[in-house]
């Protein structure tokens, strides 16, 4: 990569998600400017960068580009001026987001991508009252952002389609998997599934059917492994066997429907339930610090994705394609 190719990302909000974005861009050769008003953002992001520097290069079989320059800046203006990508990861309150967008657009290039990490808001809601709604879209990533490839890219009513294409191209160039979402919907796609499972999990814990550890085991020793490579529908296609997908649905649809009539309402997050979950989680994982758990998680993700590189499937195929791009650039 030549100097003139170097791109700059502005990271507005440097928590777990913003910090993950910073690491993803930086280790892929971008310059990164971070703005976060909290006192310990530098420390936290540097800790996350240590994790990312250990894990992300292990996914590549060719040298990664030289790291870009990282700076922590004092205001939004200093972060966003002449940035190619501006990523907002501030708290999930719409008035905060609108205020931040207003300030960003005072200083940003009109052709920059302005992505929001929001998991809940639709892009059209983010665009309300904006100076330049054309450049605003949702770019919703998944923790740890420096390792997991998925980014949901959602355009609002006023987003410029050229900005969406540009966003997908840039995300691909840093090894990610942009998924263009066809329609705006609350919580986009993936989080709708996470919420459906979370809701069900809360009931099971509340009713004493299973502990947090038993629920985690029910996922990671079974369908979690299936979903890491094929997802939901392709898995069922295979399960349906020679008779095909329509047969599968006809056969299993009614039987899957039985428990649909129960537990469809939302469990109340009482203090008692929160305490029960926290206590069970301590019993399950309290022997590891969060730092240790992060490293364990990252090592596991790297190990599985390296496995999938051998089969050239899903995340593995994506990584092989990224290797090829890195080779072409070098």
Kindly tell me the sign of the dihedral angle through the C-alpha atoms of 48, 194, 13, 141.
Answer: positive
Any contact of residue 78 with its own copies (CB under 8 A)?
A: no
Any contact of residue 149 with its own copies (CB under 8 A)?
A: yes
Rounded to 5°, the CA angle 55-61-67 comes to 55
Which lies closer to its own copies via its Cβ, residue 152 or residue 160? Answer: 152
Any contact of residue 308 with its own copies (CB under 8 A)?
A: yes
Which lies closer to its own copies via its Cβ, residue 12 or residue 202? Answer: 202
Residue of the chain from 58, 77, 107, 199 that contacts its own copies (CB under 8 A): 199
Nearest to 116 by CA among 94, 100, 140: 140
Q: How many CB atoms lie within 10 A of CB 290?
A: 8
CB of 161 to its own copies, least distance (A): 18
Any contact of residue 277 with its own copies (CB under 8 A)?
A: yes
Which lies closer to its own copies via its Cβ, residue 15 or residue 81? Answer: 15
Which lies closer to its own copies via its Cβ, residue 69 or residue 225? Answer: 225
Any contact of residue 69 with its own copies (CB under 8 A)?
A: no
Give the span between the Cα atoms of 288 and 45, in whole angstroms: 21
Any contact of residue 42 with its own copies (CB under 8 A)?
A: no
Q: What is the DSSP letter of 220?
A: I
Any contact of residue 231 with its own copies (CB under 8 A)?
A: yes
- Adjacent-strand bridge partners of 11: 34, 87
CB of 73 to its own copies, least distance (A): 23
CB of 321 to its own copies, least distance (A): 13
CB of 62 to its own copies, least distance (A): 20
Residue of the chain from 28, 51, 105, 119 that contacts its own copies (CB under 8 A): 119
Which lies closer to its own copies via its Cβ, residue 82 or residue 300? Answer: 300
Any contact of residue 95 with its own copies (CB under 8 A)?
A: no
Per-residue x/- track, 240-269, its own copies (CB under 8 A): xxx-xxx--xx--xxxxxxxxxxxxxx--x
Nearest to 64 by CA among 72, 56, 76: 56
Any contact of residue 110 with its own copies (CB under 8 A)?
A: no
CA 237 and chain centroid, separation: 27
Give the span between the Cα atoms of 212 and 202, in whole angstroms: 9
CB of 132 to its own copies, least distance (A): 27
Give the span between the Cα atoms of 202 and 208, in whole angstroms: 10
Write out the H or E segment, with its range, that includes residue 282.
helix 271-285
Among residue numbers 151 through 180, which ones bind its own copies (CB under 8 A)?
A: 152, 177, 179
Residue of the chain from 94, 110, 162, 209 that contacts its own copies (CB under 8 A): 209
Any contact of residue 196 with its own copies (CB under 8 A)?
A: yes
CB of 295 to its own copies, least distance (A): 10
Q: How many CB atoms lie within 10 A of CB 91?
A: 9
Give the span between the Cα atoms of 195 and 97, in whole angstroms: 23
Any contact of residue 225 with its own copies (CB under 8 A)?
A: yes
Q: What is the DSSP string of 138-194?
A: EEEE-SSTTT--EEEEEE-TT--HHHHHHHHHHHHHTT-EEEEESS--TTTTHHHHH
């Amino acid at each position: 990569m030549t100097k003139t190719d170097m791109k700059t990302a502005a990271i507005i909000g440097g928590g777990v998600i913003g910090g993950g974005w910073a690491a993803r861009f930086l280790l892929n050769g971008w310059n990164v400017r971070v703005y976060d008003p909290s006192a310990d953002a530098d420390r936290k992001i540097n800790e996350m960068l240590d994790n990312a520097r250990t894990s992300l290069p292990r996914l590549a079989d060719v040298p990664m580009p030289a790291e870009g320059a990282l700076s922590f800046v004092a205001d939004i203006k200093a972060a966003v001026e002449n940035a190619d990508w501006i990523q907002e990861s501030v708290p999930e309150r719409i008035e905060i987001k609108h205020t931040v967008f207003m300030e960003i657009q005072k200083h940003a290039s009109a052709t920059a991508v302005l992505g929001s990490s929001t998991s809940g808001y639709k892009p059209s809601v983010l665009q309300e009252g904006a100076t330049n709604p054309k450049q605003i879209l949702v770019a919703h990533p998944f923790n740890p952002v420096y390792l997991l490839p998925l980014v949901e890219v959602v355009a609002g009513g006023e987003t410029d389609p050229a900005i969406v294409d540009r966003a997908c191209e840039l995300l691909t160039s840093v090894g990610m998997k942009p998924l263009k979402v066809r329609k705006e919907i609350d919580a986009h796609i993936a989080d709708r599934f996470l919420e459906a499972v979370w809701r069900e999990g809360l009931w099971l814990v509340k009713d004493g059917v299973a502990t947090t550890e038993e629920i985690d085991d029910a996922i990671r020793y079974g369908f979690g492994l299936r979903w890491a490579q094929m997802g939901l529908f392709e898995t069922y296609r295979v399960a349906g066997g020679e008779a095909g997908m329509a047969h599968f649905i006809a056969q299993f649809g009614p039987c899957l429907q039985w428990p649909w009539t129960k537990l469809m309402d939302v469990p109340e997050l009482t203090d008692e339930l929160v305490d029960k979950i926290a206590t069970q989680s301590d019993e399950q994982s309290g022997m590891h610090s969060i730092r240790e758990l992060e490293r364990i998680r990252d090592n596991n993700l790297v190990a599985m994705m390296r496995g999938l590189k051998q089969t050239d499937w899903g995340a593995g195929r994506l990584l092989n394609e990224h290797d090829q791009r890195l080779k072409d650039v070098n």
